[in-house]
Chain A
């Protein structure tokens, strides 16, 4: 049996995997690393950037608060006065848990993985709200470019802190670029605003020991795949079924791998059922195959909104491996 790591490499490089890569198994994500504060259930907090986040008791997750009182950046032309990146210097104690976790990972089997979120576009809409962020593409493109450069600079400074400490070899990076049936912006606009910054960012991580860039966008983004390849993404995690994943694999599978095709929205429900999960997993595995494909929930971490769904999905994938891969 191949190691988890070798099985992954065979999968994404068009070789001979001996089973499906099972969801996030190849990534050991070091979530203990200091990055930003998030609210716990029932809390409202203002984070290091000055953005207010709330997680009401009865909701399944937290979100930025964008009413008039709380929206941080109301006029993008003033971003220099308002947006102040937090320090990336943390005392050694804050790193200790992350360092210990990284040291305990068997690197022959798994990748020591940095988690980075929010991504560049997400940060823009967390700062100013989705609508203003989107309109600034047209109304204040210069300011938006500058703000994006500032965010890139922050991430690189953060990378310079975390890389020597954890010596990570993979990056799991969020940035949602679309909704369920369309990308948020046209490929042309994506090219104008995001390609160069992401090339710089992902290039920096890769020049410093990162072997694998896994980018999360649980959305439609099939039209952005050529750009994803260009900016150096190795694996697009979160690919929803609306993208027609088999077609993407056929067209681009020699240059990028796809992780997802099991829509969280469809199976990760309060009254989830093992049969429904099995059905979705079977569909994903049979239509996508194992070349350049990793069956996975579209959710942006190895968890589910409702307890049990993630593990049940893993079990269903294991069964599909048993059915679809000949036993030696």
Chain B
């Protein structure tokens, strides 16, 4: 197995304790940092797909994302300035009144491993805070909500963004109670049922932009 293939494998299987050494090894053997990073991103794509189809579960996804971030640590000094892989910045948060963040964190991790720069605002985020976080490089805002009681807050957040100066920014919404009809009804640009498909949807939205 080539060193890059090994790194890919270690990300996919979430080997957090072996990844740093393998990444260093691949670099030493002459692989380009960007190339290794691409392999990691591909691996996380596979992880996302498996999660979407129910072949793997939350722990497998968390551990793969952690493995990737440990690998990226090793790559970082070699990547400086080479932001070729950045898909832009995504601001993410759980809407006001809601403190559930496992799903949101998974989406953030998957977006990050797909090449987005992610600004995570945390939980219980009021609409104004979302808007204030939208800087020049922001391409996407992602809102999460798990409570039926915070669906109105999600509606308000989307409405506030869409009537602000940042109205052109794409808004992606999700969380267990969010259906695609609901997303359309509240004026969001898209939604996705899980973290794997969130990345697919995010990329589609930006392509369409």
A residues with CB within 8 A of B: 58-60, 63, 130-131, 134-135, 137-139, 179-186, 189, 265-266, 268-270, 305
Contacting residues, chain B, for A184 (C-beta < 8 A): 57-59
Contact among A60, A130, A138, A266 for B63, CB-based, below 8 A:
A138
Inter-chain residue pair count (beta carbon < 8 A): 56
Contact B102 A137 (CB under 8 A): no
Known: A182-B54, A182-B57. A139 touches B149 (CB 8 A): no
Contacting residues, chain B, for A269 (C-beta < 8 A): 148-149
- CA distance in complex: A131, B58 (Å): 9
Interchain residue pairs with CB less than 8 A apart (10): A59-B99, A179-B176, A182-B57, A182-B58, A189-B57, A265-B148, A265-B176, A266-B148, A269-B149, A270-B149
Contact among B57, B58, B149, B176 for A180, CB-based, below 8 A:
B176
Task: Check: B126 CB closer than 8 A to any chain A CB.
Answer: no
Contact among A60, A131, A139 for B147, CB-based, below 8 A:
A60
Task: Check: B62 CB closer than 8 A to any chain A CB.
Answer: yes
10 closest Cβ pairs, A-B complex: A180-B176, A134-B59, A138-B63, A265-B148, A137-B59, A130-B102, A186-B57, A185-B57, A135-B62, A134-B62
Task: Check: B66 CB closer than 8 A to any chain A CB.
Answer: yes
Contact among A59, A131, A139 for B16, CB-based, below 8 A:
A139
Instruction: Tell me which residues from 137 to 169 in chain B have a Cβ below 8 Å from any Cβ of chain A.
Output: 147-149
Task: Check: B45 CB closer than 8 A to any chain A CB.
Answer: no
Contacting residues, chain A, for B14 (C-beta < 8 A): 138
Contacting residues, chain B, for A270 (C-beta < 8 A): 149
**Contact mask for chain B residues 86-116; partner A; CB cutoff 8 A; 1 contact, 0 none:** 0000000000010100110100000000000
Contact B193 A181 (CB under 8 A): yes
Contact A181 B16 (CB under 8 A): no
Shortest CB-to-CB span from B11 to chain A, Å, is: 13
Contacting residues, chain B, for A186 (C-beta < 8 A): 56-57, 60
Contact A134 B148 (CB under 8 A): no
Contacting residues, chain A, for B58 (C-beta < 8 A): 134, 182, 184-185
Task: Check: B187 CB closer than 8 A to any chain A CB.
Answer: no
Contact B97 A131 (CB under 8 A): no
Contact A131 B54 (CB under 8 A): no
Instruction: Tell me which residues from 49 to 86 in chain B have a Cβ below 8 Å from any Cβ of chain A.
Output: 54, 56-60, 62-63, 66
Contact B193 A135 (CB under 8 A): no
- CA distance in complex: A268, B177 (Å): 13
Contacting residues, chain B, for A179 (C-beta < 8 A): 102-103, 176
- CA distance in complex: A187, B56 (Å): 10
Contacting residues, chain A, for B99 (C-beta < 8 A): 59, 63
Shortest CB-to-CB span from A245 to chain B, Å, is: 18
User: Can you name the residue of chain B whose Cβ is closest to the Cβ of A190?
Assistant: B57
Given contacts A134-B62, A139-B16, 4 further A-B pairs with CB under 8 A are A131-B62, A185-B58, A185-B59, A269-B148
Contacting residues, chain B, for A135 (C-beta < 8 A): 59, 62-63, 66
- CA distance in complex: A304, B147 (Å): 14
Shortest CB-to-CB span from A75 to chain B, Å, is: 15
- CA distance in complex: A321, B99 (Å): 39
Max chain A C-beta neighbours (<10 A), residue from B16, B59, B60: B59
Contacting residues, chain A, for B105 (C-beta < 8 A): 131
User: Can you name the residue of chain B whose Cβ is closest to the Cβ of A131?
Assistant: B62
Contact A131 B193 (CB under 8 A): no
User: Can you name the residue of chain A whose Cβ is closest to the Cβ of B51?
Assistant: A182
- CA distance in complex: A58, B150 (Å): 11
Contact A59 B97 (CB under 8 A): yes
Instruction: Tell me which residues from 19 to 52 in chain B have a Cβ below 8 Å from any Cβ of chain A.
Output: none
Contact A181 B62 (CB under 8 A): no
Known: A131-B102, A184-B57. A139 touches B62 (CB 8 A): no
Contacting residues, chain B, for A134 (C-beta < 8 A): 58-59, 62
User: Can you name the residue of chain B whose Cβ is closest to the Cβ of A130?
Assistant: B102
Contacting residues, chain B, for A268 (C-beta < 8 A): 148
- CA distance in complex: A185, B56 (Å): 8
Contacting residues, chain A, for B63 (C-beta < 8 A): 135, 138-139
- CA distance in complex: A134, B61 (Å): 10
- CA distance in complex: A256, B71 (Å): 46
**Contact mask for chain B residues 167-209; partner A; CB cutoff 8 A; 1 contact, 0 none:** 0000000001100000000000000011000000000000000
User: Can you name the residue of chain B whose Cβ is closest to the Cβ of A67?
Assistant: B122
